[in-house]
Amino acid sequence: MKAVFEYWPVLAQGLWVTVWVSVCIILGAALGAVVLGALRLSEIWLIRASSMLFIECVRGPSALALLFWVFYVLPTFGGMPRLSPLTAAILVLALDGAAYGAEIVRAGIEAVHRGQTDACHALGLSKWRSFTNVILPQALSQIVPAFGSLARSMIKWTALVGFIGVQDVLYVGNFVRGQTFEIFTVYSLLAALYWILTVLCGAGFRAIERVLPLNQALRAARSSVQATPGTDPLARAVQ
């Protein structure tokens, strides 16, 4: 074990790369998921079909095959740039996360009562303002918990980036294992590091859930009901 910890600075650098890639792909996936999820509900059938086709094309292949295709195959086409390993990894994993997250966003938007959209139309709000100011804030209470689970999985997806040369924590851990032959120690340490990252990610998304306007309003309503004696909602409904 002592031999492994002599490589701690290298492991810390690899851990930083993993954290950086994780943050980038989660943020990119969140933005892409909102866009794709909204397009999936477009009133124009061509846009709906195109977004569905794009989502299926991204979700169909394995993330590793898609990563190899973008990094190795794409540059062989004339005029296409050769991306750096880190850029290719972030791009592919963010797109993959966006494709999976799009269905989460779509389901969250559809969970908002249709009457909210009708009320926006009655008030003369544009579709953009209706979506950004009314529909999406309410849908986030459904979207964030599910996307939090996806984000935890995306952290583990970063283990694939070492296949194209990104020196993440797994890539560095394999190097340390080859130098020290401490198989149990190295892989136990890697498992613990991934576990810590996913736990921190889950805690972050739970904190986001708590500050969402709709969730705050629901907690305030529950608190007011509990603070007022004789205000059983069921009893009031019967009366």
Q: For residue 222, give the CATH number of its domain.
A: 1.10.3720.10
Whether 107 is in a domain gets the answer yes
Domain count, the chain: 1
pLDDT at 231: 54
Whether 151 is in a domain gets the answer yes
pLDDT at 225: 67
pLDDT at 114: 77
User: pLDDT (tens digit, 0 to 9) for every residue of the chain, 239 residues total?
Assistant: 677 778 888 999 999 999 999 999 999 999 999 999 989 988 888 999 999 999 999 998 889 999 999 999 988 887 788 899 999 999 999 999 999 999 999 998 888 877 777 787 787 777 778 877 788 888 888 889 999 999 999 999 999 999 999 999 999 999 988 888 888 989 999 999 999 999 999 999 999 888 887 666 666 666 776 666 555 554 454 44
Whether 236 is in a domain gets the answer no
Interior CA angle at 161 toward 196 and 151, to 5°? 45
Whether 234 is in a domain gets the answer no
Whether 239 is in a domain gets the answer no
Whether 235 is in a domain gets the answer no
Instruction: State the residue range of the domain holding 27.
Output: 2-229
Contact between residue 38 and residue 109 where contact means Cβ atoms under 8 Å apart: yes
Whether 24 is in a domain gets the answer yes
Whether 237 is in a domain gets the answer no
Sign of CA dihedral 219, 27, 66, 157: negative
